[in-house]
Structure 1
Amino acid sequence: MSCDRAFLDLLGFFEFGCTRRVALPMGAQRLLAFLALQSDGAHRATTAEQLWPDCTSCRAAANLRSALCQARRVGSVTVIECIGQRLRLSELINVDLHRVTESARQIIAAQNPVTALGNGLIEDLSKELLPGWSEGWLMLERERWNQLRIHALESLAQQYQTAEQYLSALQTALAVIAIDPFRETAHRILIEVHVAEGNFASALKCYRDYQAFLQQELDAVPSPQMRQLVQELKSA
């Protein structure tokens, strides 16, 4: 197998390879995923402890050595760099999470117009980080990813609305709601887009559906800001 760069996908599902997918044992998969989430790499002992918390230190170290042998190289590409006692994922590995994270930050900072964004970005931002994995070290990283993608999608929906690309704005707001159905800002964007299109009945229906959902799930009501938006709509 000959290639200059390898890929590592963590969004939606784990996939690793070079010119084609490479099957790896679970220990090697966990090692690559863990290192991909450590911007400055990680100490060997810390890595072993995080990945095999239920093992003795000796057993965890042995598991780490085995995973390193399985994942350190793919073809001619060095995947994991060993610098003294530190391990680091090579910069030659194209990680989908890193790429989409950079795009998300650009959206939030409004650095690129919506027309410059790739068509698959909403789909990428809708993907979970390693769904089905229950590792403790993933919990905080998963929450970070969720917050980043929610804010990016909301910013993108608002940019689409400003550009009068209403269908894209609606679909993007709905992507946020699919991630977090309780999030009021996404529902508010949805209502505002319906209003911008002149679909007042649809806007009211969205509000009432959200109101009923909050009542049923949390015994709560929408915020005063949300209620004011609907009052203005009714009096229009």
Structure 2
Amino acid sequence: MSTNRARLEILKPFEFTYASNRICVPLGAQRLLAFLALQGDGAHRAAAAEQLWPDCTPFRAAANLRSALCQARRVESLTVIDCFGPRLLLSRSINVDLHGVWESGRQVMAGMTPLPECWDALIADLGRELLPGWAEDWLVLERSRWDQMRVYTLESLGQQFQAAGQYLPALQASLAAMAVDPLRETAHRIAIEVHIAEGNVASAIKRYQDYRSFLERELRVAPSIQMTQLVQDLMPT
């Protein structure tokens, strides 16, 4: 990636860089840039104003949008936001970290295992939250979409690595998926399968027992029969 390209990072606290230099962006402009980064087809001005400033009157929200647009539209000689009549789009010249990770996730779920030099960074990226610390209502659905995407990608990675006998990345992918959604069983099963494949019986049993206790404590339910069958022959009689 060229160091002269602008980059917007939202899988971490907001950061905008251009030519490798961090650019100070006012809060209103930050919100607009982040919002547009999550709208693949852009957004109508009125819809953007309503979403970004829901507690304001339409007149005040529109004024806030105009101010944010003025602050964010250009950085030095670079166009950051394209305006097509009432429609706003983040410029295609902006590299957004989420977009790259999302595309990698699609490739993984299509069966493409990342190169050995890439999997560590991909697992780390998939473990990142979307704009941590932001409390905007419009982020609730976007965070849910991101969480679903990353947990399915991490589980798919874990299954691919486990099947290939690459146990360390398989285990790391499953642990990262558990951190996103500790209730989902799939990642726990992958971890148990990895422990069994490595001959780590005690680790497999402990992972099962920990998950069973967690489910009982949180939901008063038991692991599935599929999961129990993984360890039933390993349990002491």
TM, length-normalised to structure 1: 0.94
- Which residue of the partner structure matches residue 115 of structure 1? 116
C-alpha separation between the residues in 2 aligned to 1:167 and 1:91? 37
Partner residue in 2 for 1:7: 7
Residue number in structure 2 paired with 1:222: 223
**Counterpart position of 1:17:** 17
TM-score (norm: length of structure 2) = 0.94
Q: Given that residues 114 and 159 in structure 1 are in contact (C-alpha distance below 8 angstroms), is that contact kept between their aligned partners in structure 2?
A: no
State the AA in 2 paired with 1:17: T
Indicate the RMSD between aligned Cα atoms, in angstroms. Answer: 1.5
Q: Which amino acid aligns with 2:78?
A: V
Q: Which residue of 2 aligns with 1:129?
A: 130
In structure 1, the partner of 2:195 is 194
Cα distance per residue 1:28-66 (max 9 Å; x no partner)? 000001101111111111111110111111111110110
Q: Deviations over 1:80-110 (max 9, x none)?
A: 0010010000000000000000001101111
1:19-98 matched pairs, under 5 angstroms? 19=19, 20-98=21-99
How far apart are 1:4 and its partner, in Å? 4.7
* Amino acid paired to 2:31: R
- CA distance, structure 1, for counterparts of residue 41 and residue 103 of structure 2: 17
> Within 5 A, what are the aligned runs for 1:157-172?
157-172=158-173
Q: CA deviation at 1:70?
A: 0.7
Corresponding pairs, count: 233
Cα distance in 1, alignment partners of residues 231 and 4 from structure 2? 56
Paired letter, 1:152: T
Give the distance between the partners of 1:117 and 1:17, measured in 2 at CA: 23
**Amino acid across the alignment from 1:199:** N
5+ long unaligned stretches in structure 1: none
In the alignment, does 2:108 pair up with 1:104? no
Counterpart secondary structure, 2:210: helix
Q: Percent identity?
A: 64
Distance in 1, matches of 2:120 and 2:173, equals 12
Q: 1:113 to 1:69 in 2, by over 3 A?
A: closer
Structure 2 portions without partners, runs of 5+: none
